[in-house]
Amino acid sequence: MKRVLSGLQPSGQLHIGNYAGAIRQFVDMQADHEMYVFVASYHALTSTRDANELRTNTRQVVIDYLAFGLDPATHPNTHIYLQQDVPQVTELAWLLSCVCPKHLMDKATSYKDKVARGLPASVGLYTYPILQAADILSVDPDLVPVGKDQVQHCEITRDLAQKFNHAFGEVFKLPNYKLRDDAQVLPGIDGQKMSKSYGNDIDPFMDEKPLRKRIMKIKTDSTPVEESKDPEACTVFQIYRGIAGRDDPRTLDLASRYRASGPEGMGYGHAKQALFELILDHFADARKRRTELMNDPAYIDKVLKDGAAAAQAKVTEVTARARMAVGL
């Protein structure tokens, strides 16, 4: 069975972009992979200064992983854990940083993007990809499923593993990354990439009324109802397709309703209503599960305890190998 590692930063409530770009892949893979899915709490310290917020958000990501369908109870090979429960990754990050040429970090685009968005230009943010490489290499995964924005970090990981192995012998296994097949970035309600930090996200766990209101706010142009519309150019359609799937009959049907004209023409209000109904339908189980999970903290604790034990076992083995190789 192939081993998979991936994780998300705890930036609070997850949105349907995180689901479409990341979590859905994890859920799909758990049937026939050994999954190590973690919460990147150390990474979050590059942006947050509020301890209570970090604690709450970290917990929330675990609840959302489970709500969206990761299920260690029915898939004993699925391990969910917190980064701080395997602190050896910081040691591995140090070992990797000693073989990392500075120019490799200078080239990383996420640092520049994040500083441009207002994050403090800390050394932690600058070396963020090294800690990510340590997360990945720490469990010897075969595959790392990620969204497009994480590809550069995966390439840096392979690069660092190679440099380390070249200097000290074969310690790290070189993982491959896996992009979602129909890799696409979901736009937010303003048409830009959906992101928590742009305030344009859609939270699938909202109550129905505010959820509908949020969807009705999606920006559209002013093409009249009776005129034919290009579905590809519309944010509502792009989100719909991202959730339902490109070849789903509902997506194809919606596309043809966009193209219709005259008395058959469809207004954007109808497209938004269709999206609202799709989200309620697609996330019905997740919404129900999440309410149950919010009321069962003991179960969350157990998931994290088991996950930490599984990750610890692997990480300890890899760290011992690396220490031995460098002479510690």
The rounded radius of gyration (Å) of the Cα atoms in the chain is 21
Does the footprint of ligand ADP cover residue 150 (CB under 6 A)? yes
Q: Quick one: 99 or 218, whose CB is closer to ligand ADP?
A: 218
CB of 151 to ligand TRP, least distance (A): 11
Among positions 15, 24, 43, 289, the unique one binding ligand TRP when judged by CB under 6 A: 43
Residue 185 partner contact from ligand ADP, ligand TRP, none using kind-dependent CB cut-offs of 5 to 8 Å:
ligand ADP
Q: How far apart are CA 39 and CA 8, in angstroms?
A: 5
Does the footprint of ligand ADP cover residue 5 (CB under 6 A)? no
Contacts to ligand ADP from residues 17-36, by CB under 6 A: 17-18, 20-22
Closest CA to 34 of 166, 140, 181: 140
Residue 40 partner contact from ligand TRP, ligand ADP, none using kind-dependent CB cut-offs of 5 to 8 Å:
ligand TRP
Residue 18 partner contact from ligand TRP, ligand ADP, none using kind-dependent CB cut-offs of 5 to 8 Å:
ligand ADP
Among 1-9, 111-119, 231-239, 248-256, which window interacts with ligand TRP (CB under 6 A)? 1-9
Residue 223: both structure tokens together? 């093409």
Helix axes 88-97, 151-168, angle to 10 degrees: 70
Q: Based on the number of CB atoms within 10 Å of its own CB, is 37 exposed (0-12), middle (13-18) or buried (19 or more)?
A: buried
The sign of the dihedral angle between the CA atoms of 44, 49, 53, 59 is positive
Q: Which residues pair with 38 in a beta bridge?
A: 7, 81
CB of 47 to ligand ADP, least distance (A): 9
- Told to judge if 196 belongs to the known catalytic residues of this protein, a careful annotator would answer yes
Phi, psi of 325 (to 5 degrees): -65, -35
Residues in the chain, how many?
A: 328
Q: Quickly count: other Cβ atoms within 10 Å of residue 253's Cβ.
A: 11
Interface mask (CB under 6 A) for ligand ADP, residues 174-213, using x and -? -----------xx------xxxxx----------------
- Told to judge if 193 belongs to the known catalytic residues of this protein, a careful annotator would answer yes
Does the footprint of ligand TRP cover residue 114 (CB under 6 A)? no
Set 2, 193, 209, 229: catalytic member: 193
Please list the alpha-helical segments (H only) found in 102-227: 102-106, 109-116, 123-126, 128-137, 151-168, 208-216
Q: Which residues are catalytic?
A: 114, 193, 196
Binding-site ranges for ligand ADP (CB under 6 A): 8-9, 11, 17-18, 20-22, 146-147, 149-150, 185-186, 193-197
